[in-house]
Structure 1
Amino acid sequence: MKYETYKPHPDLDSVVKCHWILEVPDDLEAPKQRVIPDGCIEMCFILGDDVRRYTFETEFIIQPRAMVFGQITQPYFVQPTGYVNTFAVRFYPYGFANFINQPIRELADKETPLSDLFGDQTAAQLELQIVEASTTEERIEFIEAFLLNRLTAPSTIDLIVSSTIEALSQTKGSASIHSIIKDDPGKRRNLERKFAQQVGISPKQLGKIIRLQAALKSILNQQGEKLTQIAYENDYYDQAHFIKDFKEFTGVNPKQYLDDDQMMLSSLIYAQD
């Protein structure tokens, strides 16, 4: 399994977290992989064999080969049908709102074909460039030219949204929305509305996801440390609170996480992110 990330162009680094590639050899016995929320939106191009996303335990859809996957609010499962070769762009929570006009909440928990967002001709041209490129560097050049051409003014993202996300990121998700907006009901309603439009989930949900990501990294990097200590290090009230949030977003408890072969992909990504 090969997973690598690449830094974006300086003019995009405020909205694009990274470009990434994933390659996995063909394996007919490959287990389903659990994908968990990370607060980001992904634009993905499937260059290898098709990938299934399970909608129920035994029911699945074939993912579009050029798509945007919106904010994830619960874990879901994917499974390759053969050789995995994916090129993708990972946007910061508010990043993708700079490139489309529709509310980001409409993209949540589903795949949206690029053609639905940018039109058939534009999407087909971009997909052809990505597919026919011979190197990752060429793919990055094509996708960055596309994004830079569509990048709107930075004022697209409201200050209240960017400052809230910054506060959540700096505190690893532990800052309360109450402390950020000083318990102003009108400001809170405005923040919730703008988050739905520009981020796709509520500020409270994003904070919980950011804190979970910090805890996941602690588990991966400090495998011998007790869960109680990890819970307190990441500002959970107690171990029970930690386990509850962990299961909400991953579907398993922290002890099962490291031994679950359905978490291999997530573990690889979050160990390097």
Structure 2
Amino acid sequence: MPIKLLNRIKKNELSQRHSLNDSLLSKNCSNKHILGTYVFACEDLEKNQPLFNDGIPSLIFMPSLSSETILRKNGNLSKLKSVWLCCGIIKDMQWEIPDGLAYITVIRFDPASFYSIFNIDSTALINNTVCSFEDVVDTKWSSVITEMYTKNKVEDKLQVWNSALEQVKIDDFLPPILKSAIGIIDTYKGNVTVSQLLSLLGENVNKKWLQRNFLRYFGITPKKYISLQRFIYTYERYEKEMPTPLNIAPFEGGYYDYNHFFKDFKQYLGVSPKHYSWN
């Protein structure tokens, strides 16, 4: 999703007021497999929005079934349908926001639940981290999407989605140790190594188990997941504390030097920190 919107989620600056002028937590899609449901106004977003994902699979819903999504990567354009998926590691990809777009709806899923609900192999999307949702799931979900878009209100659309999810039996849940690992990484804001993580988890967890289960449930390695969290938290810190000098913010975010942060910034967002639009 656009990194500026993901950053608002990560900062937990969510409004409880039902207004499209603010991001909001919707209570109409209260499903145990969903981490959060958000509606974001888009009128004030710049035309080209860099996309970023923190390892959590997310669905982005455009306002209508006829809405299209145009992405740009390496100078090439691609077109997605009205519901699109963001997962894994997104690099140097921009969303060209259509004129007049009022809002988008975002649903973030528990990773284990997501891949189980939609019968997707998490590793199969490594090279297809942003795609039309209907292209990677069973056709029955196309019917759910069609029904959802017959509703006019966001709440009613979400209710259709929630009802469909409640009919699916899920047997796959994140192992408690993996939940603990995610909690530790979030607490340290990505400023932790895999070795330190293993030490904090205890002697009963080995590196191979951690590697295997991160790939199974997230589609990425623990090292990559940690890297994504460190980057988004450093991004958040700089945006929040502007005009913090760019050569200071990376150290406060856990990077060992500016060049490492510069490299991450360029590969994820496609531009250098200096030339990025922070407004």
Please tell me the TM-score bracket, short chain as reference.
0.7 to 0.9
Could you say if the C-alpha distance between residues 156 and 99 of structure 1 is closer, same or farther in structure 2, counting changes exceeding 3 Å? same
Distance of 1:101 and 1:50 partners within structure 2: 25
* Matched residue SS, 1:12: coil
**Structure 1 residue aligned with 2:194:** 177
2:51 pairs with one of 35, 41, 55:
35
Task: Please state how far the C-alpha of 1:203 moved relative to its aligned partner.
Answer: 1.0
1:111 pairs with one of 123, 131, 140:
131
* Matched residue SS, 2:263: helix
**Structure 1 residue aligned with 2:249:** 230
2:93 pairs with one of 76, 84, 93:
76
TM-score with structure 1 length normalisation? 0.78
Structure 1 segment 91-170 matched on structure 2, within 5 A: 91-108=109-126, 109-114=129-134, 116-117=136-137, 119-120=138-139, 122-150=140-168, 152-153=170-171, 156-170=173-187
Distance of 2:152 and 2:160 partners within structure 1: 12
* Matched residue SS, 1:132: coil
Deviates further, 207-216 or 136-145: 136-145
For structure 1, list consecutive stretches of 5 or more residues without a partner in the other structure.
265-273
Could you say if the C-alpha distance between residues 52 and 257 of structure 1 is closer, same or farther in structure 2, counting changes exceeding 3 Å? same
Structure 1 segment 15-34 matched on structure 2, within 5 A: 15-24=33-42, 31-34=47-50
Distance of 1:189 and 1:8 partners within structure 2: 39
Partner AA of 2:131 in structure 1: E
Greater relative contact order (Cα < 8 A, sep 6+): 1
Conservation of the 8 A alpha-carbon contact between 1:46 and 1:86: yes
Task: Please state how far the C-alpha of 1:103 moved relative to its aligned partner.
Answer: 2.0
Output one character per residue of 1:175-207: Cα deviation in whole Å (capped at 9) or x when no partner.
2111122498x9222222221221111111111
Conservation of the 8 A alpha-carbon contact between 2:38 and 2:107: yes
Could you say if the C-alpha distance between residues 236 and 105 of structure 1 is closer, same or farther in structure 2, counting changes exceeding 3 Å? same
1:190 pairs with one of 194, 209, 212:
209
2:222 pairs with one of 203, 218, 222:
203
Task: Please state how far the C-alpha of 1:151 moved relative to its aligned partner.
Answer: 5.3
Provide the aligned length of Structure 1 versus Structure 2: 252
Could you say if the C-alpha distance between residues 7 and 166 of structure 1 is closer, same or farther in structure 2, counting changes exceeding 3 Å? farther
1:257 aligns with 2:264: no
Partner AA of 1:111 in structure 2: C
Distance of 2:217 and 2:276 partners within structure 1: 31
Task: Please state how far the C-alpha of 1:94 moved relative to its aligned partner.
Answer: 4.7
Task: Please state how far the C-alpha of 1:212 moved relative to its aligned partner.
Answer: 1.0
* Matched residue SS, 1:156: coil
Task: Please state how far the C-alpha of 1:70 moved relative to its aligned partner.
Answer: 2.4
TM-score with structure 2 length normalisation? 0.77
Distance of 1:218 and 1:252 partners within structure 2: 18
Output one character per residue of 1:214-249: Cα deviation in whole Å (capped at 9) or x when no partner.
111111111122234322221211223322222232
Could you say if the C-alpha distance between residues 72 and 24 of structure 1 is closer, same or farther in structure 2, counting changes exceeding 3 Å? same
Could you say if the C-alpha distance between residues 92 and 220 of structure 1 is closer, same or farther in structure 2, counting changes exceeding 3 Å? farther
Distance of 2:51 and 2:122 partners within structure 1: 20
Partner AA of 2:48 in structure 1: K
For structure 2, list consecutive stretches of 5 or more residues without a partner in the other structure.
1-19
Partner AA of 2:123 in structure 1: R
Distance of 1:230 and 1:24 partners within structure 2: 28
Identity of aligned residues (%): 17
* Matched residue SS, 1:197: helix
Conservation of the 8 A alpha-carbon contact between 1:53 and 1:61: yes
